[in-house]
Amino acid sequence: MKKQSSIVNYQSLANISPFNKGGLRGIFNHRFSTINYFSSKGFSLVEVMVAAIILGVSLMAIYAVYIKTFEASGRAESKTVATSLAQETMENVINRPYNN
Protein backbone atom coordinates (compact mmCIF):
# COMPACT_ATOMS: atom_id res chain seq x y z
CA MET A 1 0.00 0.00 0.00
CA LYS A 2 1.29 3.39 -0.99
CA LYS A 3 1.50 6.05 1.63
CA GLN A 4 -0.27 9.24 0.60
CA SER A 5 1.70 12.36 0.93
CA SER A 6 0.28 15.08 3.13
CA ILE A 7 2.37 17.67 1.34
CA VAL A 8 0.28 19.86 -0.93
CA ASN A 9 1.58 20.40 -4.42
CA TYR A 10 1.03 24.14 -4.77
CA GLN A 11 2.10 24.11 -8.40
CA SER A 12 -0.80 21.84 -9.35
CA LEU A 13 -3.23 23.96 -7.28
CA ALA A 14 -2.11 27.06 -9.14
CA ASN A 15 -3.07 25.44 -12.43
CA ILE A 16 -6.63 24.68 -11.38
CA SER A 17 -7.18 27.91 -9.47
CA PRO A 18 -9.49 30.46 -11.12
CA PHE A 19 -7.09 33.17 -9.98
CA ASN A 20 -4.02 31.91 -11.78
CA LYS A 21 -4.45 34.21 -14.77
CA GLY A 22 -4.76 37.95 -14.75
CA GLY A 23 -3.55 38.71 -11.24
CA LEU A 24 -5.97 40.98 -9.41
CA ARG A 25 -8.05 41.35 -12.55
CA GLY A 26 -8.55 37.59 -12.57
CA ILE A 27 -9.67 37.66 -8.95
CA PHE A 28 -12.05 40.53 -9.66
CA ASN A 29 -13.50 38.87 -12.75
CA HIS A 30 -13.97 35.56 -10.97
CA ARG A 31 -15.54 37.18 -7.93
CA PHE A 32 -18.16 39.05 -9.94
CA SER A 33 -18.60 36.58 -12.78
CA THR A 34 -20.86 34.38 -10.67
CA ILE A 35 -23.38 37.19 -10.20
CA ASN A 36 -25.85 37.36 -13.05
CA TYR A 37 -27.12 40.93 -13.10
CA PHE A 38 -29.28 40.52 -16.19
CA SER A 39 -31.51 37.75 -14.92
CA SER A 40 -32.52 39.52 -11.72
CA LYS A 41 -36.11 40.64 -11.47
CA GLY A 42 -36.97 44.27 -10.72
CA PHE A 43 -34.91 47.40 -11.02
CA SER A 44 -31.63 48.34 -9.45
CA LEU A 45 -31.17 51.55 -7.50
CA VAL A 46 -29.05 53.02 -10.30
CA GLU A 47 -31.78 52.37 -12.86
CA VAL A 48 -34.37 54.00 -10.62
CA MET A 49 -32.12 57.02 -10.02
CA VAL A 50 -31.43 57.47 -13.75
CA ALA A 51 -35.14 57.20 -14.53
CA ALA A 52 -35.94 59.76 -11.81
CA ILE A 53 -33.35 62.19 -13.18
CA ILE A 54 -34.65 61.82 -16.74
CA LEU A 55 -38.23 62.30 -15.53
CA GLY A 56 -37.24 65.36 -13.49
CA VAL A 57 -35.41 67.02 -16.37
CA SER A 58 -38.33 66.28 -18.70
CA LEU A 59 -40.86 67.74 -16.26
CA MET A 60 -38.72 70.85 -15.80
CA ALA A 61 -38.58 71.37 -19.57
CA ILE A 62 -42.34 70.88 -19.92
CA TYR A 63 -42.96 73.30 -17.03
CA ALA A 64 -40.70 75.94 -18.63
CA VAL A 65 -42.60 75.65 -21.92
CA TYR A 66 -45.91 75.87 -20.02
CA ILE A 67 -44.83 79.07 -18.25
CA LYS A 68 -43.65 80.68 -21.50
CA THR A 69 -46.91 79.75 -23.22
CA PHE A 70 -48.94 81.14 -20.31
CA GLU A 71 -46.99 84.42 -20.44
CA ALA A 72 -47.43 84.69 -24.21
CA SER A 73 -51.15 84.01 -23.82
CA GLY A 74 -51.40 86.80 -21.25
CA ARG A 75 -49.60 89.24 -23.56
CA ALA A 76 -51.86 88.29 -26.46
CA GLU A 77 -54.95 88.85 -24.31
CA SER A 78 -53.63 92.26 -23.22
CA LYS A 79 -53.00 93.24 -26.84
CA THR A 80 -56.51 92.14 -27.82
CA VAL A 81 -58.06 94.22 -25.02
CA ALA A 82 -55.91 97.23 -25.94
CA THR A 83 -56.83 96.92 -29.63
CA SER A 84 -60.54 96.68 -28.77
CA LEU A 85 -60.35 99.78 -26.56
CA ALA A 86 -58.46 101.71 -29.24
CA GLN A 87 -60.99 100.71 -31.90
CA GLU A 88 -63.91 101.69 -29.65
CA THR A 89 -62.32 105.07 -28.92
CA MET A 90 -61.70 105.72 -32.63
CA GLU A 91 -65.31 104.81 -33.46
CA ASN A 92 -66.52 107.23 -30.78
CA VAL A 93 -64.34 109.99 -32.22
CA ILE A 94 -65.47 109.29 -35.80
CA ASN A 95 -69.17 109.18 -34.85
CA ARG A 96 -69.15 112.56 -33.03
CA PRO A 97 -70.84 115.35 -34.83
CA TYR A 98 -68.61 117.94 -36.39
CA ASN A 99 -68.77 121.18 -34.41
CA ASN A 100 -66.43 124.10 -34.68
pLDDT at 16 over 60: no
Which band of pLDDT confidence, cut at 50, 70 and 90, is reported for residue 97? confident
pTM: 0.42
Distance set, CA 87 to CA 9, 31, 50, 75, 76 (Å):
105, 82, 55, 18, 16
The answer to whether residues 34 and 40 touch, using CB atoms and an 8 Å cutoff, is no
**Separation between Cα atoms, residue 97 and residue 93, nearest integer Å:** 9
Q: Where are the alpha helices (DSSP H) in 34-44?
A: none
pLDDT at 80 over 80: yes
